[in-house]
A = this chain, B = another copy of it.
Amino acid sequence: MMPTRLANVEDSEVLAQMLHDFNEEFGDPSPGVEVLASRVRRFIDRSTKIYLLAREDGAASAGGFAQISFTPSIWSEGPIAMIDELYVRPALRRRGLGQELMDSILALAREQGANGVEVVTGEDDLGARALYEKTGFRNEIEGEKNSRSLFYEREL
């Protein structure tokens, strides 16, 4: 398996297509590949977000990707890394690409001096949850015992 690598602006279209496919797969709305590509390009260009590309051995195109944001934290000197998106092409799942991406995310976060990494997932996404738990992530509020940490959102 080829190692994951940092994406650059030339990867914007490939990333946009995977972001779009991701939402199609889960029935979520997508603004379309063109709009996504222009946002990805801007985010990479301005270092707003960092994208990691996973590759399968010998494959020309990426087999998956992760989108990561770094946010300053009031509780630590370093920032917190947030895994915004993590995707592996359906045909390439269960081959370790997700774990490769997670390992690269942790390495990147350490390199950037981050004090922690965060990710949100659905209760019924057992594959993602197993991957995160295997990678040392916990679904618990710090300082409380046995209380799960829940993510709430509302649109505006």
Contact = CB atoms under 8 A, between A and B. Distances in A.
Interface of A is mostly: mixed
Interface string A135-156: 1111101111001111111111
Interface string A51-80: 000000000000000010101101110000
A85 interface: yes
Q: How many copies does the complex hold?
A: 2
B121 A150 contact: yes
A7 interface: no
B74 A43 contact: yes
Given A49-B74, A67-B74, A72-B43, A121 B152 contact: yes
Interface string A104-148: 001001100011111111111100010011011111011110011
A156 B117 contact: yes
Interface of A: 19, 23, 26-31, 36, 39-40, 43, 48-49, 67, 69, 71-72, 74-76, 82, 84-85, 106, 109-110, 114-125, 129, 132-133, 135-139, 141-144, 147-156
